[in-house]
């Protein structure tokens, strides 16, 4: 057990040091949602106005509504950035050395995920602080209740990125894959507009959004920010995490990689 904790500590420390040295990554993670929150929200608010947004049945501004979705955006992009680092590690050979250590493969990959989740939570915390300074706030209990929701949603989105990185062998191909995955997941979700609003214009798009795992990550965060638990969202996020993690473990099987390289 001591060796497991040493490995976890070493991987988390390495990932956090990498993040600290990449200041541009931190700024990009904040600028992107802040632009949506401050600039684009003005246009959306003009179109949607102040609406009754289920499940709260209270009047909230559009900026408050999209706040959880932008927190999910930070975690989604961070999961993809962590996956990009994994692809780089595969090219450099450090990932192969890590996976051939005597510790279980699932523990090593989980440590990678946990390191990425810690980084994403730090980014979300700074984003929420900046949003609060601009007057966009949630109930005080929400800032505490959202922490476990961010952990669970971060693990799910990180496992999804881990799965993608197991299928990409060249760093040059990953940028296109990121754009192909991130934007459909973000826009076809409840991050920017409620599903009932989507159903008014296109029931088909509403159904697609309802099948999107990112939708349930956003809803889990949204309810948590108001001190509530969405059991449906929690079940979906948990099930998707298990599914993505199992698929990533299969993708990162060293024996399978060796057979593929020989073939």
- In this model, does residue 256 exceed pLDDT 60? no
Per-residue pLDDT band at 261 (split at 50, 70, 90): very low
- In this model, does residue 109 exceed pLDDT 90? no
pLDDT digits over 176-235, tens only?
677 778 888 888 898 888 887 777 778 888 888 899 999 999 999 999 998 899 999 999
**pTM for the complete prediction?**
0.84
pLDDT at position 44:
64
Q: pLDDT exceeding 70 applies to what percent of the chain?
A: 75
pLDDT at position 91:
63
pLDDT at position 263:
47
Are 207 and 189 in contact, with CB atoms under 8 Å apart? no
Instruction: Please state, in angstroms and rounded to a whole number, the distance separating the CA atoms of residues 221 and 142.
Output: 9
Mean pLDDT for all residues in the chain = 79
Instruction: Please state, in angstroms and rounded to a whole number, the distance separating the CA atoms of residues 196 and 179.
Output: 27
pLDDT digits over 32-75, tens only?
787 777 777 666 655 555 444 444 444 567 778 888 989 999 99
In the chain the first and final C-alpha atoms are separated, in Å, by 37
Average pLDDT, stretch 15-26?
68
Number of compact structural domains in the chain: 1
Alpha helices in the chain (DSSP H): 2-21, 23-35, 41-48, 62-92, 94-99, 105-133, 140-165, 171-187, 195-201, 203-210, 213-225, 231-251, 254-262
Residue 19 neighbours by CB under 8 Å, 6+ apart: 25, 26, 119
pLDDT at position 171:
63
Report the candidate in 192, 248, 209, 233 with the shortest Cα–Cα distance to residue 64. 192
Instruction: Please state, in angstroms and rounded to a whole number, the distance separating the CA atoms of residues 201 and 211.
Output: 17
Instruction: Please state, in angstroms and rounded to a whole number, the distance separating the CA atoms of residues 238 and 256.
Output: 27
Q: Can you read off the two tokens belonging to residue 260?
A: 């593929």
Q: Can you read off the two tokens belonging to residue 102?
A: 């005597």
Are 239 and 164 in contact, with CB atoms under 8 Å apart? no
Q: Is 118 left (phi over 0), alpha (psi -120 to 50) or beta?
A: alpha
pLDDT at position 55:
47
Residue 31: domain span: 2-262
- In this model, does residue 154 exceed pLDDT 80? yes
Residue 218 neighbours by CB under 8 Å, 6+ apart: 68, 69, 72, 189, 190, 191
* Residue 2 burial class via C-beta count within 10 angstroms: exposed 0-12, middle 13-18, buried 19 and up: exposed
CA distances, 222 to each of 81, 166, 209, 234 (Å):
23, 30, 16, 12
pLDDT at position 47:
54
């Amino acid at each position: 057990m001591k060796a497991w904790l040493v490995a976890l500590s070493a991987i988390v420390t390495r990932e956090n040091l990498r993040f600290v040295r990449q200041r541009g990554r931190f700024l990009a993670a904040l600028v992107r949602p802040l632009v949506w929150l401050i600039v684009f929200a003005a246009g959306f608010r003009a179109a949607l106005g102040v609406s009754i947004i289920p499940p709260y049945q209270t009047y909230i501004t559009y900026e408050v509504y999209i706040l959880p979705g932008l927190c999910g955006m930070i975690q989604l992009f961070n999961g993809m950035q962590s996956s990009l680092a994994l692809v780089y590690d595969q090219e450099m050979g450090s990932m192969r050395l890590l996976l051939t250590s005597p510790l279980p493969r699932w523990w090593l990959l989980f440590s990678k995920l946990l390191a990425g989740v810690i980084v994403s939570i730090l980014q979300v915390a700074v984003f929420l602080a900046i949003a609060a300074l601009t007057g966009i706030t949630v109930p005080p209990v929400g800032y505490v209740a959202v922490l476990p929701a961010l952990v669970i949603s971060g693990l799910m989105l990180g496992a999804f990125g881990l799965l993608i990185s197991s299928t990409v062998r060249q760093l040059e191909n990953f940028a296109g894959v990121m754009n192909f995955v991130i934007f459909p997941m973000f826009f076809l979700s409840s991050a920017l507009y409620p599903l009932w609003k989507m159903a008014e214009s296109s029931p088909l798009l509403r159904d697609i959004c309802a099948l999107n795992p990112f939708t349930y990550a956003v809803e889990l965060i949204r309810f948590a920010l108001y001190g509530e638990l969405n059991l449906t969202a929690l079940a979906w996020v948990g099930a998707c995490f298990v599914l993505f993690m199992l698929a990533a473990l299969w993708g990162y099987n060293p024996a399978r990689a060796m057979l593929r390289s020989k073939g």
